């Protein structure tokens, strides 16, 4: 991560910026990525449940 990006993130955290909540799908993706038996099909099935994310991909 570049120093500028890191500094900006730290500034946002320090100032208690009103950051939007993370989409619920990210937690599911993280869980899948932590699973050594995860397959691309598993990720595909999860992503297609989120219209915004699937539209961007």
- In angstroms, what CA-CA distances link 18 with 12, 13, 14, 15, 24? 8, 9, 11, 9, 18
| pTM, 2 dp | 0.57
Say what percent of the chain tops pLDDT 70. Answer: 93
Predicted confidence at residue 40, as pLDDT, reads 93
Average pLDDT over all residues of the chain: 85
> DSSP letter at 20?
P
Chain segment 2-29, per-residue pLDDT in tens: 678 888 888 877 887 676 777 889 899 9
What percentage of residues in the chain have a pLDDT greater than 90?
Answer: 40
């Amino acid at each position: 991560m570049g120093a500028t990006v890191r500094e900006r993130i730290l500034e946002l955290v320090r100032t208690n910026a009103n950051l939007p909540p993370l989409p619920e799908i990210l937690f599911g993706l993280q869980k899948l990525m932590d699973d050594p038996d995860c397959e691309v099909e598993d990720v595909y099935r999860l992503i297609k449940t989120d219209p915004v994310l699937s539209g961007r991909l």
